[in-house]
Structure formats: C-alpha cells, structure tokens
A and B are shown apart, each in its own frame.
Chain A
C-alpha cells in the first residue's frame, strides 16, 4: 500500500495575538520571531498515516508539500518520524495560488508518484483556514474523499473511517483508493521525533519538482486557480473591558464572583 500525506508549513499558529502582525500592502502575515511549523491538522494526518504504516507491513509513506526551500524542514521532520520518501513541489509559478491551484499541483505530484491508495490531508491549514485543498485534490484525482476524519481502519482494500458529523460521528465504509481530511483526536497526536532520527533525516534525499516536471503550464493554474483574491488583510481592533474580581483568597474571589453573577441575573 502507498500512503501519501500532504503537509503544509505555516507560521506557528500558537503565537499570541499580541505578537502577531500583518503587512497590509503585501497582504501577508509578518514572520517576526515566529517559528515555522507543520500545520497541526497535517500533523494529525501524518500521525494517522504513520500508524497505518506500522499496522500494515509493506506500506510506503510519502510526504508531499508545496512550498519554498524553507519547507524542506517540514519534510525533514516527516522523514525523521518515518516517511519513506518526501517531495517538495516548488516553483515561482506556485506563489499566491489559491486552493484550486494548490490542489492541482498536489494532485499532479501524486500522479507522478504513480498514484496512491490512501491520500491524507489535514482538515484545514492553520494560516488561511480554508479547508478546501484535500477535497479539491481528491476531485482532481477522481477519487472519493471523506472529510473531518478522526480514525481509519483498513482491511484489504476495504476502509472504515470515523468522521465528525452533525450531533455525533458517522462511520463510513469505502474502498481504496480514497482520500481523507483529518481532524484532531487524542488518538492522532503527532509523536516526537528521536534526536537520532532527526540527524539521519538530514542525509536523506528530497525530491524536488517544478511546474515543468509536473507537466503544469502556468496557464493550467489560471484563471479559477486564482479565483479568490485577498483584497485586504487587517488585524481587528481588540478593546478589552475585563472587570477583575479581587480578593484575599479563593473563597473571597468565589463569593464576589457569585455576587457579581447574581447582579447580572446570570444566577
């Protein structure tokens, strides 16, 4: 079995708002002192893929990213965690692509890899939060896609997936090949790479593909590929109006809080 996990490197989404800035003219976040990380839901997808690889001997796992040279770090982490092969799709023509364009690039990478039985994505990237690329790439590949998946079990080419639904979870049955977008659960928290594996990953090869390698004409990435345009990016005003409850100890604070809630008719 061949599993492909698509990952995106993003600005650390956990940096506090106070340290977050945008460049309004470039319509981009300012990097500042923030680190670059694999988008958290992509890590959930990677972990799910790694668990399936361990459970089903003979499985190959490939991590693919579209990004610039810095994104190599994300791929090295994937290698350290157990990916067999990694691909970086990089080309100036890929700059500023929207979800359609990104999906097309990733789909071409998967085709060039000889296809995949299971393609995993994070449910949405933690920077632009669109949540579209996985489903769109599956459309490009003409394979079914199950979204918001927490767990996957395989039996031959049969697959059972547990996905978030309305008011509970849906259990879905499907057949390979199939794509899934993954959401967080306690069972798919990313493992920690071992220092030794991090070292070894430095020496492993990285496959680099350009638009030309992928048979993509820049015209293929237009015009729907740039359908959604960011006109404006801004940081909203945050005015705080927090009323703090003071007190000598926990008991007094609790008492005053209850009193306050009573005044507000919330109790």
Chain B
C-alpha cells in the first residue's frame, strides 16, 4: 500500500502555497493505489498552521516543531525530514520546488538511499507503478521517469499540481515527531537574511507581471516597465539575460531557474521566449508579447502578439494606460 509523504518547509513563516499543491498531487497518487497521504510540517511554531490540512487531503500530519527550524538550515531540516520520513514510513516523498525543497532533496535522497527526480510537473500513477514527468533540455522535451529504489524523492515544480477542493468533513491524525537537531554540529551558519526589496507587490503574488529582456537594450527602459506595472497593479519581471546584464536584480528572474509565476496577465517585452524562460510562465492566464522579430518563439505561447520595436509601442501604451487609470 503506497504511502505518500508531502513536505511543508515553513521556517517561521506561514504554510507555503505549495503545501496544498503537494497534497493535491499526493492524494491523486495515494487514491490510485489505495494508499495514504502523510504531511510533514517542519518549522518553528508550527502548531497554529495545520488547521485546514486535513480538509485539503492529509490523512496523517507529522509535526516537527523546533526553534532550530525557524530559519532554513540544511543540517537542521535534514534531521527533521529524516525523522518525519522514518515516522511515516512512506515510499514516495514529495518536496516543494522552492529554494528549500531543491536544497533538501539531494541530501534527503542520499541519506535515505532513494532515487531522486527534480523539477517534476506531473505524477502518473498506474497499476504498473508511479512515473514522474519532468521537462528536460530546458523544457524543449519531456521525460517520463521510473525510479527503481523502494523509496523515491521528487521535487515538484511550483504551480504544477492542483490543490484539492477542501472537504471540511475529512479528519487527520496529528503526530508530534521529535528530531535530534543539535546546532553545535552544524557545519555552516546562516548569519543573515536579506529580504528582496519590493516596492510594491511580490512578483509571485502579482496579478499582472510586466517583464523585460535583452531586447530592452539597457537598464533605463525598465523604469517605464516599472511605471506600467505600477499602473496595472503588478510587478516587474525579467529574463535571465536582463539579470545577467545587471539591469535588474536576480530576484526579478522569471523561468525555470527563477520564479515560477501564474499571473492573470503576463507582458513579455523584448524577450525571445527561450524554453527556460517559458517554464516560469506556464501558469500565466494571458500572455502578451511585444517583440520586433515575428519569428520569436515567444509568439508560439503568447495569446496576443505585437510585432514591433518596443520603443515605438511602449510610450503609447503607457499613455493609454495612464489615461485609462486617470
């Protein structure tokens, strides 16, 4: 009987949205095999955070609550995750595709002697077993992967699994798990955390994202993108090329190795639409592209395309939007 263990790596913050996605995915896998869904909630001051998790699909909730889990530290989270995995006895372990889950997966897999698949976008359960679906070659191809080890670790890309509609009648058993976390054995120290400066709304939460790429030609035009984003109640994003050029901070990067976002409206300006960039916007509901090259791959995924030099369109676009807002 399959047991699937999903992880919530909370630090001292709220439950990440990915928790509900992982529960949705875990539920589908467990149901197909007549199994169970366990959820490990790792963090400091976790007690108040587990209220609605049964309704979202957990059969058993394993809580590892420790002051040493207040900030993400790999040694601390590895100890906590191992203790939870042990207590659960699950054969499939699902981690979130954020910086914590990506960091933890290889460490946990190594110590559990488990095969690992990262950046998964789907779990296919069948009578023959479980297959992991993962984009490769930057998203230009997809792979179906079977993991031969008894225990399997998968990191799920954010926004790729659907949460279940909550069922308030569901109940879960809550178990406190002790983990031996001894900070004196930590081999590194987290000495500081510097929050991203966000003047407005966070990129991940923004309903509108205005993104710029190498085609903007320099840092200056990003000021116009910022104004447009502000007028639309959104945030500014960028391609890796714009980040690498130093035009915008790395926190703006959208894509496979940047942020994975799902805004209502995504405006891509001077972005070619490399598969690695597109990996970050598969959740966007409407994509608008402005690019002077009608062959640019971005038009392959855009819903609305404007073939033009952005310098001829953007000032007018700003004007129109300003007028509409006034």
Q: Which residues of A contact B (CB under 8 A)?
A: 11, 13-14, 16-18, 20, 22, 27, 29, 41, 98-100, 123-124, 126-132, 135-136, 139, 143-148, 150, 160, 163-175, 178, 183-186, 189, 223-224, 226-236, 238, 240-245, 249-251, 253-255, 257-258, 260-262, 264, 266-267
Residues of A near B307 (CB, < 8 A) are 244
Residues of B near A20 (CB, < 8 A) are 137, 140-141
Residues of B near A144 (CB, < 8 A) are 74-75, 187-188
| 4 A-B pairs closest in CB distance | A227-B115, A250-B312, A186-B246, A254-B316
Residues of B near A228 (CB, < 8 A) are 115-117, 145-148
Contacts A129-B137, A147-B99 known; 13 new A-B pairs at CB < 8 A:
A14-B274, A17-B300, A99-B106, A126-B138, A132-B105, A150-B250, A168-B251, A174-B189, A175-B187, A186-B245, A229-B148, A230-B145, A233-B142
B146 touches A229 (CB 8 A): yes
Residue among B110, B193, B276 with most chain A CB within 10 A: B110
Residues of A near B13 (CB, < 8 A) are 166
Q: Which residues of B contact A (CB under 8 A)?
A: 11, 13, 71-72, 74-75, 98-100, 102-103, 105-107, 109-111, 113-119, 131, 134-138, 140-149, 187-196, 202, 208, 232, 240, 243-246, 250-251, 256-257, 264-265, 274-276, 286, 288-289, 297, 299-309, 311-317, 319-321, 324
Residue among B136, B208, B324 with most chain A CB within 10 A: B136
A160 and B324 CA atoms in complex are apart in Å by: 49
When the two chains form the complex, which single residue of A13, A174, A243 contacts B137, counting CB atoms closer than 8 Å?
A13
Residues of A near B102 (CB, < 8 A) are 131, 147-148
B141 touches A166 (CB 8 A): no
Chain B residue with minimal CB distance to A159? B188
A100 and B153 CA atoms in complex are apart in Å by: 13
Residues of B near A146 (CB, < 8 A) are 188
- Tally A-B pairs: CB < 8 A: 255
Chain A residue with minimal CB distance to B117? A228
Residue among A224, A257, A267 with most chain B CB within 10 A: A257
B305 touches A242 (CB 8 A): yes
A98 and B136 CA atoms in complex are apart in Å by: 14
Chain A residue with minimal CB distance to B197? A168
A244 and B141 CA atoms in complex are apart in Å by: 27
A167 and B98 CA atoms in complex are apart in Å by: 10
Residues of B near A131 (CB, < 8 A) are 102, 106, 118-119
A257 and B306 CA atoms in complex are apart in Å by: 8
Residues of A near B137 (CB, < 8 A) are 11, 13, 20, 29, 126-129
A29 and B116 CA atoms in complex are apart in Å by: 21
When the two chains form the complex, which single residue of A98, A124, A227, A255 contacts B257, counting CB atoms closer than 8 Å?
A124
Given known pairs A185-B250, A229-B145, A238-B300, the reply for A170 and B72 (CB within 8 Å) is yes
Chain A residue with minimal CB distance to B133? A232
A261 and B228 CA atoms in complex are apart in Å by: 14
A232 and B142 CA atoms in complex are apart in Å by: 8
Given known pairs A16-B297, A169-B194, the reply for A174 and B256 (CB within 8 Å) is no
